[in-house]
Every structure is written in C-alpha cells, then in structure tokens.
C-alpha cells in the first residue's frame, strides 16, 4: 500500500522515498539490566492504531524525523524533526515495562511512562 509522507525539509513525497525506522521506544537508563536491554532491543508493541515512529528520507535529504501514523489506515497525523515534535501522549510511545519485560506493561494503550521518552530518545538505525 502506498501513501504520502511529508518530509519536514522537502515536503510531501511518496512513502517509497522513505525508510521506516520503527516505533519510537524510550532508551533504557545508562546501565540497563539484561532484561531491560533485551526488551529495548527486541520487544515492540506493534499497535493497531496511532503510534509514533521514526522515518528517514532515504531518497531525499536523508534526515531522520518523527511521525505519528495510524497503522490501520496509514493516516499520517503529523511529521516533525525530533527537536520540533510535539510532546508524546501516553499510548503513542512504545515503552517496555522493565518489571515484566512486556511491551507497554503488557497492555496496549495503557502506557503512562513517558519520562525520558521525548523526541530523539528512541534512536533507531542511525
Ligand atoms: Zn527530505
């Protein structure tokens, strides 16, 4: 399925111009436990709904930026460079519960841990 994405630098382009960097997930603390590191590296929430994610303008300016997209409809709510992105809402950030090792604390849409989850905290593929 094809859809349009707006590069913050270049404007509207076909999604085939871009590379997908995955859902945004907060980085673990400086010295994470093995469980926290494993969860950060391998667990994804994979929500059916709006999620915040990384994209790179691969065939253009090569900038990494953030987008919020509804994964069911590919409706893109907004795109922005990391420094200009709106604050994250609960439920749009992937977060892994360190206690259980389960993404989002084991329940989709109940993520409340947005501390440290600001733009640029979940760098993927740089
Ligand atoms: Zn661009």
**3-state SS, one letter per residue, for the chain:** CCCEEEECCCEEEEHHHCEEEEECCCCCCCCCCHHHHHHHHHCCCCCCCEEEEEEECCCCCCCEEEEEEECCCCEEEEEECHHHCCCCCCCCCCCECCCCCCEHHHCCCCCCCCCCCCCCCCCCCC
Q: Compute the distance between CA of residue 85 and CA of residue 105 in angstroms, rounded to an integer.
A: 24
At 88, the pLDDT band (50, 70, 90 cuts) reads confident
Mean pLDDT of 76-92: 87
Quick one: how far is CA 51 from the chain centroid?
Answer: 7
Between residues 29 and 16, the one the model is more confident about: 16
The neighbourhood of ligand 1, an ion, using CB within 5 A, equals 7, 9-10, 57, 60-61
What rounded mean pLDDT belongs to the chain?
A: 81
26 Cα to the center of ligand 1, angstroms? 25
Nearest partner of 95 among 49, 36, 48, judged by Cα: 36
Range 78-84 average pLDDT:
96
Q: What is the pLDDT of residue 7?
A: 98
Give Cβ neighbours of residue 17 (< 8 Å, ≥ 6 apart).
5, 7, 57, 58, 59, 60
Ligand 1 centroid–CA 70 distance in Å is 21
Query: Is pLDDT of 3 > 70?
Result: yes
Rounded percentage of the chain residues whose pLDDT exceeds 70: 70
How far, in Å, from the CA of 68 to the mean position of ligand 1? Answer: 17
Tell me, in angstroms, the distance from the centre of ligand 1 to residue 18's CA.
9
Cα of 47 from ligand 1 centre, angstroms: 26
- The per-residue pLDDT for range 91-123, each reduced to its tens digit, is 666 655 545 555 544 433 334 344 444 444 444
What pLDDT was estimated at residue 87? Answer: 86
pLDDT digits (tens, 9 = 90+) for 43-57: 999 999 999 999 999
Distance 4 CA to ligand 1 centre (A): 13
Q: Which of 57, 52, 49 is nearest to 15 (CA)?
A: 57
CATH of domain 4-106: 3.30.2270.10
Gap from CA of 99 to ligand 1 centroid (Å): 39
User: Could you tell me the pTM of the whole model?
Assistant: 0.70
Higher pLDDT, 63 or 126: 63
């Amino acid at each position: 399925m094809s859809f349009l994405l707006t590069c913050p630098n270049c404007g509207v382009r076909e999604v085939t111009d871009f590379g997908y960097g995955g859902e945004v997930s907060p980085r673990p603390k400086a010295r994470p436990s093995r469980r926290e590191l494993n969860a950060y590296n391998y667990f994804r929430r994979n929500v059916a709904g709006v999620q915040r994610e990384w994209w790179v303008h691969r065939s253009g300016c090569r900038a990494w930026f953030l987008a919020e997209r509804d994964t069911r409809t590919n409706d893109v709510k907004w795109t922005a460079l990391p420094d200009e992105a709106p604050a994250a809402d609960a439920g749009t950030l992937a977060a892994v519960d360190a206690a259980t090792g389960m993404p989002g604390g084991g329940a989709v849409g109940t993520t409340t841990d947005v501390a440290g989850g600001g733009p640029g905290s979940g760098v993927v593929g740089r």
